[in-house]
Amino acid sequence: MRCCWQWLGPGRFASGDACTRPKRWSISPRCARLASRLRASSNFILGIGLYGSIYLLPLFLGFVRFHTPLEIGEIMTVMGASQLVAAPLATYADRRLPAHWVVAIGFGLFAAGSFANAFQTPTTDFTGLIVPQILRGAALLFCILPVTNVALDELPSGALANASGLLNFMRNVGGAVGIGIVDTIVNVRPHDIATRVLNELVAGKAAMAAFVGVPKDLLAESISRMRIPMT
């Protein structure tokens, strides 16, 4: 196992690069099995993050903004266009830079896109979603391409087909788990959120009324009827 630990580093472990590029004389069967498990688990985790977060956008557009399926597809074409633009850039970076640097760029872009979504409101629509979609769309290829290349780099040609299928399978399984987690949260959390929103509206919170889109005059009228001072 010594060959594994001498090649493990923070960047190589995070990108799945660990144990995949040691000198050929230092590869042991146990190290190869460990590297295979690391690659499979990294693709599984990658699928949870990518598919789960992307699944949130059509949910928001459908249940909050009440867009039709066609309108949702038109809005999400921004992400597809960003992937087309980022494809040659990701390929160039994968050839010129170490794999862990390319993965770091991808996850950095993905984190920035997810952070941009943290400022969404119920009124956020196409223009407010352009930047997050561009960042996440560009991040996909920077994340997937180097991980796949590193995972398949040391394998013999006869094993490439099965290995590629396994990696795609693990990523898709992770995506299914991520979507399931999102759906579970969506089904469990609304009651608590609705109770909090209702309590703040009843308490006369103008900020909450503006957040959910209740007109000020309607809120003031309701408050005056209930004789609750507006805060």
Query: pLDDT of 12-47, one tens digit each?
Result: 444 444 444 444 434 455 555 545 555 667 778 888
The amino acid occupying position 14 is A
* Gap between the Cα atoms of 36 and 34, Å rounded: 5
pTM here is 0.69
Residue of 43, 16, 19 lying closest to 30 (CA atoms): 19
Kindly give, in sequence order, each residue whose CB lies less than 8 Å from that of residue 56, ignoring residues fewer than 6 positions away.
117, 182
All domains in the chain, ordered by first residue: 41-188 (1.20.1250.20), 192-226 (no CATH)
Q: Look up residue 17 and give its DSSP letter.
A: -
Determine the pLDDT at residue 32: 53
Q: What is the DSSP string of 169-189?
A: HHHHHHHHHHHHHHHHHHHHS
Rg (alpha carbons) of the chain, rounded to whole number: 23
Phi, psi of 172 (to 5 degrees): -70, -35
Q: How far is CA 149 from the centre of its chain?
A: 21
Residues 193-219, mean pLDDT to the nearest whole number:
78
Q: What's the token pair of residue 56?
A: 């949130």
Report whether pLDDT(215) > 70: yes
Report whether pLDDT(155) > 60: yes
Report whether pLDDT(128) > 50: yes
Cα–Cα separations (whole angstroms), residue 147 to 2, 28, 68, 110: 23, 21, 36, 15
